[in-house]
Chain A
Amino acid sequence: MSAQARQAGIRLGALNARERNVKYLMFACASLSVLAIMLIFLFILRESLPAIRQLGVRNLFLSADWSPNVSNPEAGSYGMLAFINGTIMTTLSAMLIGAPLGIGAAVFIDQFAPPSIAQVVRRGIELLAGIPSVIIGWFGLTLLVPFIARLTGSSGYGMLAASLVLVVMALPTITTLSAETLRSLPPELQEASVAMGATRWQTVYRVLIPAAREGLLIAVILGMGRAIGETMAVQMVIGNARQLTFSPLQRTSTLTSRIITDMGEATGVFRSALFAQALVLLILAMVLIVSIRLISRERKH
Chain B
Amino acid sequence: MRTRHKSAAAVAVFTTLAVLVTLAGCGAPARKGRYSGTVKVSGSTTVLPLSQEAATEFMALNPRANVEVQGGGSSVGVAQLMQKVVDVGNSSRELKGDENNGTLVDHRIAFDIIVIVVNPSNPVDELSHEQVKAIFTGKVDNWKKVGGPDKEVVCVVRDQASGTREVFDEKALDSTKEHPMESTPSAIECASNGVVREIVGTTRNAIGYISFGYVNNKVKAVTYGGVEASVADASTGRYPMARYLHMFTRGEPEGAVKGYIDFVLSDPFQTEIVSQEYIKIKDVTVK
Q: Which residues of A are in contact with B by a Cβ distance under 8 Å? A: 66-72, 75, 82, 145-146, 149, 153-157, 239-243, 245, 250-251, 261-262, 264-267
Minimal Cβ-Cβ distance residue in B for A266? B160
Which residue of A82, A251, A262 is within 8 Å of B159 (Cβ)? A262
The answer to whether A71 and B97 touch across the interface, beta carbons within 8 angstroms, is yes
Which residue of A69, A72, A82, A261 is within 8 Å of B189 (Cβ)? A261
Q: Which residues of A contact B161 (CB under 8 A)?
A: 70, 262, 264-265
The answer to whether A156 and B160 touch across the interface, beta carbons within 8 angstroms, is no
Q: Which residues of B are in contact with A by a Cβ distance under 8 Å? A: 72-73, 75-76, 79, 96-97, 151-152, 154, 159-161, 166, 177, 180, 182, 184-191, 199, 202-206
The answer to whether B203 and A156 touch across the interface, beta carbons within 8 angstroms, is yes
Q: Which residues of A contact B75 (CB under 8 A)?
A: 70-71, 265, 267
The answer to whether A155 and B154 touch across the interface, beta carbons within 8 angstroms, is yes
A149-B160 contact in complex given A241-B185, A265-B73, C-beta closer than 8 Å: no
The answer to whether A70 and B180 touch across the interface, beta carbons within 8 angstroms, is no
The answer to whether A264 and B190 touch across the interface, beta carbons within 8 angstroms, is no
In whole Å, how far is B253's beta carbon from the nearest beta carbon of chain A?
Answer: 25
Give me 16 other A-B pairs in contact (C-beta within 8 A), A241-B185, A242-B187, A265-B161 excluded.
A68-B160, A70-B161, A82-B185, A149-B204, A155-B154, A155-B188, A155-B206, A157-B188, A157-B203, A240-B189, A241-B187, A242-B185, A243-B184, A245-B186, A261-B191, A264-B73
Q: Which residues of B contact A264 (CB under 8 A)?
A: 72-73, 76, 159-161
**B interface SS class:** loop
A146-B76 contact in complex given A239-B188, A241-B186, C-beta closer than 8 Å: no
Q: Which residues of A contact B76 (CB under 8 A)?
A: 264-265
17 pairs across A/B with beta carbons < 8 Å?
A67-B180, A70-B75, A70-B161, A71-B97, A145-B202, A155-B152, A157-B154, A242-B187, A243-B184, A243-B185, A251-B186, A251-B188, A261-B160, A261-B189, A264-B73, A264-B76, A265-B159
In whole Å, how far is B17's beta carbon from the nearest beta carbon of chain A?
Answer: 36
In whole Å, how far is B287's beta carbon from the nearest beta carbon of chain A?
Answer: 22
The answer to whether B152 and A154 touch across the interface, beta carbons within 8 angstroms, is yes
Q: Which residues of B contact A72 (CB under 8 A)?
A: 97, 177
6 closest residue pairs by CB, A with B:
A265-B161, A243-B185, A264-B161, A242-B185, A240-B189, A155-B154
The answer to whether A146 and B202 touch across the interface, beta carbons within 8 angstroms, is yes
The distance in angstroms between the C-alpha atoms of A215 and B75, with both chains bound, is: 51
Q: Which residues of A contact B191 (CB under 8 A)?
A: 261
In whole Å, how far is B147's beta carbon from the nearest beta carbon of chain A?
Answer: 19
In whole Å, how far is A9's beta carbon from the nearest beta carbon of chain B?
Answer: 58
Among the interface residues B73, B161, B190, B205, which one has the most CB atoms of the partner chain A within 10 A?
B161
Among the interface residues A67, A155, A265, which one has the most CB atoms of the partner chain B within 10 A?
A155
The distance in angstroms between the C-alpha atoms of A154 and B180, with both chains bound, is: 29
Among the interface residues B160, B177, B182, B187, which one has the most CB atoms of the partner chain A within 10 A?
B160
Q: Which residues of B contact A267 (CB under 8 A)?
A: 75, 79
Among the interface residues B159, B182, B185, B191, which one has the most CB atoms of the partner chain A within 10 A?
B185
A75-B152 contact in complex given A251-B186, A251-B188, C-beta closer than 8 Å: no
Q: Which residues of A contact B151 (CB under 8 A)?
A: 153
The answer to whether B203 and A149 touch across the interface, beta carbons within 8 angstroms, is yes
The answer to whether A240 and B96 touch across the interface, beta carbons within 8 angstroms, is no
The distance in angstroms between the C-alpha atoms of A145 and B202, with both chains bound, is: 9
Q: Which residues of A contact B189 (CB under 8 A)?
A: 240-242, 261
The distance in angstroms between the C-alpha atoms of A236 and B188, with both chains bound, is: 10
Q: Which residues of A contact B206 (CB under 8 A)?
A: 155
Q: Which residues of B contact A66 (CB under 8 A)?
A: 185
In whole Å, how far is A82's beta carbon from the nearest beta carbon of chain B?
Answer: 8
Q: Which residues of A contact B190 (CB under 8 A)?
A: 240
The distance in angstroms between the C-alpha atoms of A10 and B203, with both chains bound, is: 77
The distance in angstroms between the C-alpha atoms of A66 and B185, with both chains bound, is: 8
The answer to whether A241 and B188 touch across the interface, beta carbons within 8 angstroms, is yes
The distance in angstroms between the C-alpha atoms of A105 and B280, with both chains bound, is: 60
The distance in angstroms between the C-alpha atoms of A239 and B195, with both chains bound, is: 12
The answer to whether A250 and B186 touch across the interface, beta carbons within 8 angstroms, is yes
Q: Which residues of B contact A266 (CB under 8 A)?
A: 160
Q: Which residues of B contact A146 (CB under 8 A)?
A: 202
Q: Which residues of A contact B202 (CB under 8 A)?
A: 145-146
Minimal Cβ-Cβ distance residue in A for B74? A265
The distance in angstroms between the C-alpha atoms of A25 and B73, with both chains bound, is: 44
The distance in angstroms between the C-alpha atoms of A261 and B157, with both chains bound, is: 12
Q: Which residues of A contact B152 (CB under 8 A)?
A: 154-155
The distance in angstroms between the C-alpha atoms of A208 and B281, with both chains bound, is: 74
The distance in angstroms between the C-alpha atoms of A182 and B120, with both chains bound, is: 53
The answer to whether A71 and B73 touch across the interface, beta carbons within 8 angstroms, is no
The answer to whether A261 and B159 touch across the interface, beta carbons within 8 angstroms, is yes
The distance in angstroms between the C-alpha atoms of A251 and B184, with both chains bound, is: 12
Q: Which residues of B contact A157 (CB under 8 A)?
A: 154, 188, 199, 203
Minimal Cβ-Cβ distance residue in B for A239? B188
A243-B72 contact in complex given A146-B202, A155-B205, C-beta closer than 8 Å: no
Among the interface residues A146, A149, A245, which one has the most CB atoms of the partner chain B within 10 A?
A149
Minimal Cβ-Cβ distance residue in B for A82? B185
The distance in angstroms between the C-alpha atoms of A156 and B97, with both chains bound, is: 40
Minimal Cβ-Cβ distance residue in B for A156? B203
The answer to whether A70 and B160 touch across the interface, beta carbons within 8 angstroms, is yes
Q: Which residues of B contact A82 (CB under 8 A)?
A: 185
Among the interface residues A70, A75, A250, which one has the most CB atoms of the partner chain B within 10 A?
A70
